[in-house]
Amino acid sequence: MSKHPLKCPECSDFKKLEIFWVRYKKEKNKQLDINIPFFICPTCGHKKPLYEKEYYDQMTEKDFEEMEDGEMLDIVFKYENKKFPRYNHLNLIYSSEDYYLIPGLFRDEDDGYLTPVFFDKDILLYYNNHPNYSVKFGSFSSCNIYYQGKPLFNWGFGINRNGKIFKWLGDLNEDFKDESMLPHLKRFQASNVKSDHDIFSKFYLSQNPFSPSDMFQASDNETQLFIIKNEVDEVFYDKYEIKLTKIHIEDYFEYYKPPILEEKEQIFNAYISLNKLIIENIQTDLLKRKLIEKFKSKEINSLGSLKTLEKFLLEFHQNDNYEIKSILSSLYVLSDLRQLQGHFSDSSFDSRYNFCKERLHLNNDSTHFQVYETLIKELIKSFTDIKNLMNI
Ligand SMILES: [Zn+2]
């Protein structure tokens, strides 16, 4: 399998393009300014220029020979600051360096189609809060906007590691062709921001695959959580003729509003919905009935939904390879986070919030969004474990 060209040689992360301004000087006041592209790993800092240092040294040496004393020049490469005239009517800013230098984007016909155009993520708030629109995240790094249940844009958007959303210039041109899209174009123009040259995301990998595994990216967010939770419902039904939860999978996508920004209120409101969907909807009474039928157990009446589920798995699916309490840990954390909503000013808030972070293996200084993302990943893991445990 071929290795992705952005894959860091030192760690498991992927590198990003960064462009550094460098000034070369020579005696008699000769000066050359040059922008040098590097590929840098955000995790371990591994850094490599587009061309080796010798290339730039030789190039500037040659230019200095032809320069007059006291002359100052900028070297501009062909890939820099280029405009693609066929897209001028869109009035969007972008960086042609991205198109020419980020692996997989340049095409022989040189039409700039796959140039990434960046937008502030807060544009999604408008659509997420509007009654006729919704925003759905296929993963933590891809999303689309829907109008009355139908996608408003083909292929959707990528979300990069700095939380900016982006989409290809050529696709935007297609999307905004229809006159009815003009108000949307205006809104997007207002949120259009300068490129930060990072497009690493599931969106980029699946659209510009370097290997089959790039192409088929499993989701890592709520979408995946709801799918796996639905599978657990099916396993329960196969074994006990009851579903674990009352609600159907389509209802999740209708009901659930994912948090968009690093904003406490938004993220804690998402915990309320998540808790309602996957914990409060557990069919506790039916689980208890099964427990009573089999074990004539009476002391379960007072148990809440999570404790009942724990008891049920312990009684029916105890297995030495699984520690049921730790499988369910992420659900207990969700339940605790939900309790914290509305108690932001309580004196115990920080210590209780930190205890949630600790159980997610996060530091106390983790951001609200990091807690949210990690919780979702852990919940996916919990439901996968429940499914595997029940299938033994
Ligand atoms: Zn690295």
The pLDDT of residue 357: 97
- State in Å: Cα 192 to ligand 1 middle: 30
103 has a pLDDT exceeding 80: yes
Q: Which of 155-169, 176-190, 251-265, 340-354 has the weakest average pLDDT?
A: 251-265
250 has a pLDDT exceeding 70: no
Question: Please, how many CA atoms are within 13 Å of residue 247, restricted to the half-sphere of its CB?
Answer: 21
- State in Å: Cα 15 to ligand 1 middle: 7
Angle between helices 284-295 and 305-317 (to 10 degrees): 40
Select from 356, 338, 348 the least CA-distant residue to 273: 338
Q: What's the mean pLDDT in 258-264?
A: 89
CA–CA separation, 103 and 116 (whole Å): 12
- State in Å: Cα 50 to ligand 1 middle: 17
Other C-beta atoms closer than 10 Å to the C-beta of 289 total 13
Q: What is the pLDDT of residues 21-52, one digit of tens each?
A: 999 998 889 999 999 999 999 999 999 999 99
- State in Å: Cα 307 to ligand 1 middle: 42
1 has a pLDDT exceeding 60: no
Residues with Cβ within 8 Å of 173's Cβ and at least 6 positions away in sequence, in order, are 86, 87, 90
261 has a pLDDT exceeding 90: no
Tokens describing residue 325: 């309490």
What pLDDT band is residue 219 in, cutting at 50, 70 and 90?
Answer: confident
- State in Å: Cα 5 to ligand 1 middle: 13
- Residues 170 and 113 sit within 8 Å (Cβ to Cβ): yes
What pLDDT band is residue 301 in, cutting at 50, 70 and 90?
Answer: confident
Global pTM reads: 0.83
Q: What's the mean pLDDT in 219-226?
A: 86
